[in-house]
Amino acid sequence: MSTGTQAGRRGDVRLAMQDVVDGLALWPLWIRLGWNDILQRYRRSVLGPFWLTVSMAVMVVALGVVYAGIFKITLRDFIPFLCVGLIVWGYISTTLSEAGGLFTGAESYIKQIRLPYSLYVCRFIWSKVIIFAHNFVIYFGIISYFHVWPGSAALYAIPGFLIVTLNGALASTYLGIVSARFRDIPQIVASVVQIVFFVTPIMWKPELLGARSHLMTWNPFHHLIEIVRAPLLGQVPSLENYVAAGVITAANVLVAAAFFSRFRARIAYWL
Partner 1 sequence: MKMSVKPAASSSQAIISLDRVGVSFPVYHGGSRSLKKAILARSSAGRIARDANDRVTIDALRDVTLSLRTGDRLALIGANGAGKTTLLRVMAGVYEPVTGTVEIRGRISPMFDIGLGIDVELSGYDNIRLRGLLLGLSSQDIEGRLSEIAEFTELGDYLDMPMRTYSSGMMLRLTFAVATCYEPEILLIDEWILAGDAHFIAKAQRRIDFFVDKASVLVLASHNLEICRRWCNRGLWMAQGQVRSFGSIDSVIAGYEAGAA
Q: Is 210 among the residues that bind partner 1 (CB under 8 A)?
A: no
Q: Which long-range contacts (CB under 8 A, 24 or more apart) does 141-145 make?
A: 141/57, 142/60, 142/79, 142/80, 142/83, 143/80
Distances (CA, A) of 214 to 2, 164, 206, 221, 238: 45, 22, 9, 14, 13
What x/- string results for residues 83 through 122 when contact with partner 1 is judged by CB under 8 A? Answer: -------------------------xxxxxxxx-------
Pick left, alpha or beta for residue 176 (phi over 0 → left; psi -120 to 50 → alpha; otherwise beta).
alpha
**Cβ-based nearer residue to partner 1, 26 or 75:** 26
Question: What is the phi/psi pair of residue 43, to 5°?
Answer: -60, 140
CB nearer to partner 1: pick between 71 and 269? 269
According to CB under 8 A, which residues from 145 to 204 bind partner 1? Answer: 181-185, 188
Number of residues that bind partner 1 (CB under 8 A): 31
| Backbone conformation region of residue 38, classed left if phi is above 0, alpha if psi is from -120 to 50, else beta | alpha
Instruction: Select 39 or 155, whichever has its Cβ closest to partner 1.
Output: 39
Give min distance, CB of 266 to partner 1, in A: 8
Candidates 25-33, 84-92, 153-161, 242-250 — which segment interacts with partner 1 by CB under 8 A?
Answer: 25-33
Radius of gyration of the chain (CA): 20
Identified binder of partner 1 from the candidate list 3, 6, 28, 152, rule CB under 8 A:
28
Q: Which residues bind partner 1 (CB under 8 A)?
A: 4, 8, 11, 15, 26, 28-29, 32-33, 36, 39-40, 43, 108-115, 181-185, 188, 265, 268-270
